[in-house]
Chain A
Amino acid sequence: MRNKNWKQILLFLLPVLTLFVVYFVYPLGFVFVTSLTKWNGIGSMEFIGLDNYIDLFGDATFRLSLRNNILWALIRAFIHIPMAAGMAMILARKPLGWKTTRTIIFLPNVISQVALAMMWLAIYNAEFGILNSLLEGIGLSHLAQNWLGNTTTALPAVIVQQVFYIGYFMIVILASRMGISDTYYEAAEIDGANILQQELHITIPMLRGILITTMTLALAYGMRHFESTYLMTNGGPAHSTSVLGILLFRDMGALKYGEANAIGSILIIFGGVTIAIIRWLFSRNDSASDAAQ
């Protein structure tokens, strides 16, 4: 069935599709094609089929990085987003100082990651770090350690640095939450529902769409996570905090474009599959609940 507005639809889609083709489809084609070659960017490309991919999956560092990426994606989607949503729900009820609070919580997204990384390096430092001083202060000096310098604590430490900066997704969820009319809550209050019940039965169902949207984005950001880890540990010690972005960047620096782009391709394919699964789970849930009604 052809939509009668197809001309306008095409016109409206034209700018976005043009830019998308130029800035995503073409470069990704380039990435994918070069991922099948050995190429240093200067000499000629040597076609080697899937060798780069085979080599990567045989490499323990690569597998560890992929695992770390999946961990990042899951933590972002299922811990980071709920925390952001919780804050959005609280602030939407306009408690004392909610506007200032909203601004302050968003601030870390405004500062450059460089400055944030510098501060956290100083917090975690083993010689003069504030975290160890704190532990010693409350009599837990046996817990004091080189947080970013050992393979058990480095990854959690790098994740903790990021996971509480919820401002980005908070403002997205908040913008949507502010659109829900107060009348729903007033009615619920008359019915005797307490705040938690109201949030559970009104807010969450109504924010379902934006929650899925933000979770999907969070998953994607987790898969391509790079910057804060690069700035704090550069993947170390002993690759324990490594992610695919770090390996990709390192290969690019060594002019190994074939391998770098194979990592990029895997990242996109893997992320795409993860997101597709999550969305499919949600939509299956959707139709199930629709059927129940």
Chain B
Amino acid sequence: MRTKKILLGLALIMFIMPSVVWAAGQQEADKEIVLKWPTIWVGADSKAPMVKALVDEFNEMYDGKYQVDIEENPDYDAYRNKLNAQISAGVVPDLFVFNVSQTSFAFYEGDLLMDFSEDLDSDWGDNFVEGSIAGATIDGETKSVPFEIAVTPVWYNMDIFNAAGVDEVPTTYDEFFDACDKIKAAGFIPTSQMTGGTNAWTSMLWFSHIAAAIGGPDVWEKDITDPVFVQAAEILLKMYSDGNTSKDAIGGDAGVSGGHFLAGRSAMFINGPWYIGRVKSEAEAVYNATTIASAPGSEFSGAQIGFPQSNLAAAATDDPRKKEATVAFMQWMTKPENVKKISFDSGALFAVGYTVDENEEVDALQGKFMNAINDASFINTHFQYNYTSDVVAEFGQALAKMALGQATPEEFVEQIANKID
């Protein structure tokens, strides 16, 4: 009898439900232009509160005229899969964010995305950091607006360096491996590394740093089988040998490489400014001991790795009012003072320039990040930016093979090259 009742109740719910759904659908029939914005900057993301505040302010400003609705998509990987499937089915969200890579530039094909090149030709375009609009333009069409950028310098835990009797961060790879030996002797792990995850993140960034030091600003124009990359692979392999990294680095994910640095076990680590908040709240001693600098130099020195992180994009439309609303929103989000608010609140960096008054307080580590950018002799993109995502995945697999002694540096670059079309 009990089951019958339960089943009956469920059947009832099922019957009522369509009307609930229908009622919810009715509310959207307003005259104002409503733009849906599935965004990843929600939930626990550090940019979430300020992004929401700015959207609210925008909606208030254009009350009755335009409205932007945030749709929450916290998990980035899942969001990307959805975006890919949606766009492949020919449905483009009104507004969206995407991670800039050679894979996502495929979105530019066809006429699915709105082209902002004419609008950016005005004063609006002057807001952006030099070269960033060019980086978002293909064949004269700027189908996305540069937004978040990232710099990923090396994080040095100076407490460990001092304990090992090393006072300065190494500036050449000879000094680097000398320091590694001293750090090991003092009982610490020299570098944080990982081959796991979707992109072997930390090690992929090490590789990018080494490649920039050996090959200079134009290194990514070279073929991946170029001797420069073989040399870079040799150095990376050395970082994986003789206890220069943790035992769990092969197969490890971002939790592994970040965890060792957070716990004060590893001396050197690479990540972007978004990690500042984590270190500050969970490992204050490490936060205080951290120095930000470039990786050791070789033929070139003082390089930094920086790259466009997320661009804003929108669906192409024939409706002039919708286009107007979209451009208004894009301009609002990339207004220097608004970008500054998000940046100060979250620690993130942007492709939009803004001025900082001397009396304004910047987070100490974020300040070191900004100095690192300003001091850089040149800024190179990372490996991930220059290849499609399946090639990036192959990087981690090939790296593990090399680190396990099953492939030479030559075979390592060869394995990656085989994956490139």
Determine direct contact between A and B, CB below 8 Å: yes
Q: Does A10 contact B (CB under 8 A)?
A: no
Q: Does B389 lie within 8 Å of A253, measured CB to CB?
A: yes
Interface membership of chain B positions 334-370, coded 1 if the CB is closer than 8 angstroms to chain A and 0 otherwise: 0000000000000000000000000000000000000
Interface size class of B (residues with CB under 8 A): 35 or more
Given contacts A42-B107, A238-B400, contact A154 B81 (CB under 8 A): no
Q: Does B88 lie within 8 Å of A42, measured CB to CB?
A: yes
Given contacts A235-B397, A237-B397, contact A42 B251 (CB under 8 A): no
Interface membership of chain B positions 247-261, coded 1 if the CB is closer than 8 angstroms to chain A and 0 otherwise: 111111100100010
Given contacts A42-B107, A254-B390, A255-B103, contact A233 B251 (CB under 8 A): yes
A contact residues around B407 at 8 Å (CB) = 238
Q: Which of B42-50, B63-71, B190-198, B214-222 is found at the contact surface with chain A?
A: B190-198
Q: Does A236 contact B (CB under 8 A)?
A: yes
Interface size class of A (residues with CB under 8 A): 20 to 34
Set B88, B246, B250, B260: member contacting A237, Cβ < 8 A? B250
Q: Does A239 lie within 8 Å of B397, measured CB to CB?
A: yes
Tell me the nearest residue of chain B to A151, going by C-beta.
B404
Q: Does B80 contact A (CB under 8 A)?
A: yes
Given contacts A237-B195, A239-B397, contact A253 B103 (CB under 8 A): yes
Set A42, A129, A250: member contacting B393, Cβ < 8 A? A250
Q: Does A236 lie within 8 Å of B400, measured CB to CB?
A: yes
Q: Does A237 lie within 8 Å of B251, measured CB to CB?
A: yes
B contact residues around A42 at 8 Å (CB) = 87-88, 106-107, 109-110, 112
B contact residues around A233 at 8 Å (CB) = 196, 251
Closest Cβ of chain A to B2, distance in Å, is 18
Q: Does A253 lie within 8 Å of B390, measured CB to CB?
A: yes
> B residues near A, CB below 8 A?
80-81, 84, 87-88, 103, 106-107, 109-110, 112, 195-198, 246-253, 256, 260, 388-391, 393, 396-398, 400-401, 404, 406-407
User: A41-B87, A254-B389, A255-B106 provided; 12 other pairs, C-beta below 8 A?
Assistant: A40-B109, A42-B106, A146-B248, A149-B195, A149-B250, A151-B404, A234-B396, A235-B397, A237-B404, A238-B406, A253-B84, A255-B84
> A residues near B, CB below 8 A?
40-43, 61, 121, 125-127, 129, 146, 148-151, 154, 233-239, 250-257
Q: Which 7 A-B pairs have the closest CB atoms?
A: A41-B88, A237-B400, A149-B251, A149-B250, A238-B401, A254-B390, A126-B247
